[in-house]
Structure 1
Amino acid sequence: MKRIIPLLVCLFVYYGTAFAQSFSKTLKETPGMVSYTFRNQFAKDVPGTLDKIKAMGVTNMEMSNLFGKQASEIRTWLDERGMRCTSYGVNYDDLANKMETVIQNAKALGAKYVRVAWIPHKGAMDLAGIQKAAADFNKFGEQLHNSGLTFVYHNHGYEFQPHEKGTLFDVLMKETKPEYVSYEMDILWVFFPGQDPAALLKKYPKRFKLMHLKDLKKGVEGNLSGGTPPDNDVALGTGQINLPAVLKAARKSSIEFFYIEDESSSAEQQVPQSIAYLKTI
């Protein structure tokens, strides 16, 4: 009995600590934040904005911009606050023509993932555009892989044009190499063009590594344009997307990091609401 009691105490401490550190029943860690959420604040004061985000309990950043600073500067500010950058967002041209700079910045930030969120195109996306992007993504992904980084593409809605028995997004998945190309699911930009984020996760459980948590204002109708006014972003749990279903599917996928993104002018008020809501799921 004397031996059993200390063992029970150790188990209680271990599992009690693990439970205390769990953010919610569906998310082990507090979600990260996409810097674009606070783009206007970051443009004026990077360290001060990081302080605001840290005060919300968020320590993981996806930097979608360097805001005129050096990557090494931002890394120093993150380190000083016990924060980290796990994903670095760049544009298509950077990957095509400035790969060495992208790699240097990503490593300086400490990021694991390099993300692009837009395929240049005019009018509706077509098969030729998707096939060219797939070939480019394989090339970008191999270069990043060889430097110890992982390439991810962030969907934006226009990729879901119907094609044969599926969509152009299915073509993109089929023609990109899993060893070099992964994906970041933006759930709003899956839902907006009429798709089901949970179903897409179940269809491709191993391809998605990152997720943007967003919600779409009730009453807003979607389309395949890849665009909607920023103020159609609302606090999580107050819009149209079934977040519990999405997160349940995400638990069975290969997603490593979740990030809150709120593009609206009310982000400072809505983000705390979103964090509080996620804790209830």
Structure 2
Amino acid sequence: MAVKVAGSSLSFSKQPLDVALRELANLGFSFVDIGAMEGWAHINPSEVASQPQKFVEKLRTLCEQYRLKPVAFNAGLGTDDLSEQQRRLSALCFVARELSVPVITLGTAPRNTPLEREVHRFRQLVAVACKFGVTIAFEPHFFQIAENPKVALALVEQVDGLKITLDPSHFTVQGLRLDDYRFLLPHVAHVHFRDAGTKGWDEIQVPMGKGQVDFGAIVKALEELGYEGAISCEYIDTIGNLDIRENLIALKSLLSSLIASNGSARYHYGGETIERRRTKMRKIPVALQLYSVREDCAKDLEGTLKAVAEMGYEGVEFAGYHGRSAQELRKMLDDLGLKVAGTHTGIDTLRGDELKKTIEFNQILGNKFLIIPWIGEEWRRTKDDWLRFADFLNELADKVKPEGMFVGYHNHHFEFQQKFDGQTLWDILFSATKPEVVMQLDTGNAMHGGVSADEILEILKRYPGRAKTIHLKEFSSTNPKAVLGEGEVKWKEVLTLCDTVGGTEWLIIEQESYAYAPIECVRKCLENLKAIMESM
């Protein structure tokens, strides 16, 4: 089932288009459904009609910048005059053709409009779109003429070339189920998804898992018909007071699973919360940051690595190489069955001629995560310094991407203590960096900077897909030497978010304060982590 999962820019309709696209990219979307709603978001068809080529260039630049491919326009033409509708649609179709956008969604007239009038209007609009090779699809919308599935069928059957954008929420709020509108599915060219209740407009958009939309059954039915269009995740930020990002993440994750299983995965949340929707976490490997046992490594690197492997760690993250070559390190690791989860490497090793050497060294190690653990004052005195650092990381991410590598930054405490214009240094940095830049959150360091246990969870939610590696470090306000599991970090919630939101590929334990020998501390950390995982 070659279906694309897209994000809708209307999820961030209160923001300018560039911000909306950045938000969707940060959520991990590769495809976008762009709002073209006159007087609302994100582009006005009346303005497109005046300068269509300008909008082609603008949208192409933005989509390339955020690595998003547009798959549909969701349009409101903003006028009752049919000739003006045709003019505006013609320009929008020109833009769609130039950007290879196959579908434009339009709304229908209000309920009680004579069907023949709407048939006439759509015949004229479809004729315009056909000249550009673009498909027009109408959305059967609550309060509009096509809210009744039978009327929607009559409309689509009377206009050659007209298709449907299916949004099940508009049927669900009327108490209708899939079997009540299944006959529309052969006419579907695009899909909008969100969860909804059955009690009218007040439940048109409810949190994932709280509604009655049977996503699994719908995806399965579309798959059986050979549907190969896009499905847009469309939680709209002007409806209700939901956490838009959290619900988009949940919906995107669900759709990806359903599509990967060819729609066969049976699904309904049935009131289950997002945090509890998985019955079992996926297996995320656990590594040790070797700075935790740095003195042991300095004395006997091979013996320390052997002890780490025997404890059950699956990988290590380097913080220095103790005078060994990449080849020597790789042999030690291979002999012990250890992988490399990353390296903490100074910023100077990633600049100029040193970058090539660093890439080659880490390719030999089998490492793809290059994490900057610290930056000097010249990078962090002002907000502009942090934005300059963000630009550096963005450029660096582009340079290492062809090598299959990622760059990132690891926090201490000051990134959460100091603010500019009400924003923490952490938020300034990660709001200005590309989705490919890794946010290596150190839980203990952040809490030492004043971040609460609940705020740790909010950071992971705010930057979905960015925690490709994370430092699991304990924090206790009463015991500065607490090991993992003995303090105030909400580990079950952190691990669940790493699993469902963070895009986490490595869980990395780090311990920097010691109640007993460091090697025993990291053993205890791993034992406690495994116990927590087994209890989830």
Aligned to 1:65: 320
Larger radius of gyration: 2
Aligned to 1:177: 434
TM-score by length of 1: 0.81
Aligned to 1:199: 458
Classify the secondary structure of the residue corresponding to 1:208.
Answer: coil
Match of 1:269 among 502, 506, 520: 520
Match of 2:487 among 239, 245, 257: 239
Change over 3 Å in CA distance of 1:213–1:27 after alignment to 2: farther
Q: Do the aligned partners of 2:379 and 2:386 also contact (CA within 8 Å) in 1?
A: no
Deviation at 1:30, TM superposition (A): 4.8
Aligned to 1:132: 388
Match of 1:215 among 450, 468, 474: 474
Change over 3 Å in CA distance of 1:276–1:125 after alignment to 2: farther
Aligned to 1:146: 402
C-alpha distance in structure 2 between counterparts of 1:123 and 1:184, whole Å: 18
Deviation at 1:107, TM superposition (A): 0.5
Q: Which amino acid aligns with 1:92?
A: I
Change over 3 Å in CA distance of 1:233–1:129 after alignment to 2: farther
C-alpha distance in structure 2 between counterparts of 1:273 and 1:94, whole Å: 34
Indicate yes or no: 2:446 matched with 1:162.
no
Deviation at 1:174, TM superposition (A): 2.0
Deviation at 1:39, TM superposition (A): 0.8
Aligned to 1:250: 498
Deviation at 1:123, TM superposition (A): 11
Please show how residues 110-129 of structure 1 align to structure 2 within 5 Å.
Answer: 110-121=366-377, 125-129=381-385
Deviation at 1:276, TM superposition (A): 1.9
C-alpha distance in structure 1 between counterparts of 2:358 and 2:375, whole Å: 17
Higher relative contact order (CA 8 A, sep 6+): 1
Aligned to 1:190: 446
C-alpha distance in structure 1 between counterparts of 2:388 and 2:300, whole Å: 38
1:68-87 Cα distance to aligned partner (Å, 9 max, x none): 11011000110111111131
Q: Which amino acid aligns with 2:492?
A: P
Please, which moves more after superposition, 33-42 or 261-270?
A: 261-270
C-alpha distance in structure 2 between counterparts of 1:239 and 1:42, whole Å: 27
Quote the sequence identity (%). Answer: 29
Q: Which amino acid aligns with 2:497?
A: A
C-alpha distance in structure 1 between counterparts of 2:420 and 2:366, whole Å: 39
Change over 3 Å in CA distance of 1:148–1:248 after alignment to 2: closer
Deviation at 1:264, TM superposition (A): 2.4
Aligned to 2:69: none
Indicate yes or no: 2:509 matched with 1:260.
yes
Q: Which runs of 5+ in 2 are unaligned?
A: 1-279
C-alpha distance in structure 2 between counterparts of 1:233 and 1:73, whole Å: 34
Q: Do the aligned partners of 2:286 and 2:506 also contact (CA within 8 Å) in 1?
A: yes
Q: Do the aligned partners of 2:349 and 2:358 also contact (CA within 8 Å) in 1?
A: yes
Classify the secondary structure of the residue corresponding to 1:111.
Answer: coil
Classify the secondary structure of the residue corresponding to 2:288.
Answer: strand
Aligned to 1:34: 289
Q: Do the aligned partners of 1:131 and 1:175 also contact (CA within 8 Å) in 2?
A: yes
C-alpha distance in structure 1 between counterparts of 2:381 and 2:307, whole Å: 38
C-alpha distance in structure 2 between counterparts of 1:214 and 1:269, whole Å: 15
Classify the secondary structure of the residue corresponding to 1:211.
Answer: strand
1:217-253 Cα distance to aligned partner (Å, 9 max, x none): 3337xxxxxxxxxxx3521111232222222222222
C-alpha distance in structure 1 between counterparts of 2:522 and 2:422, whole Å: 38
Aligned to 2:339: 84
Classify the secondary structure of the residue corresponding to 1:212.
Answer: strand
Q: Do the aligned partners of 1:198 and 1:250 also contact (CA within 8 Å) in 2?
A: no
Q: Which amino acid aligns with 1:113?
A: F
Q: Do the aligned partners of 1:126 and 1:168 also contact (CA within 8 Å) in 2?
A: no
Q: Do the aligned partners of 2:284 and 2:505 also contact (CA within 8 Å) in 1?
A: no
Q: Which runs of 5+ in 1 are unaligned?
A: 1-24, 221-231
Classify the secondary structure of the residue corresponding to 1:274.
Answer: helix
Indicate yes or no: 2:305 matched with 1:46.
no
The number of residues matched between the two structures is 246
Aligned to 1:55: 310
Q: Which amino acid aligns with 1:208?
A: A
Please give the root-mean-square deviation of Cα atoms over the aligned residues, in Å. 2.2
C-alpha distance in structure 1 between counterparts of 2:512 and 2:408, whole Å: 20
Change over 3 Å in CA distance of 1:77–1:191 after alignment to 2: same
1:23-54 Cα distance to aligned partner (Å, 9 max, x none): xx657245111111111111122211111101
Deviation at 1:157, TM superposition (A): 2.4
Classify the secondary structure of the residue corresponding to 1:244.
Answer: helix
Q: Do the aligned partners of 2:467 and 2:498 also contact (CA within 8 Å) in 1?
A: no
Deviation at 1:262, TM superposition (A): 0.8
Classify the secondary structure of the residue corresponding to 2:351.
Answer: helix
Classify the secondary structure of the residue corresponding to 2:478.
Answer: coil
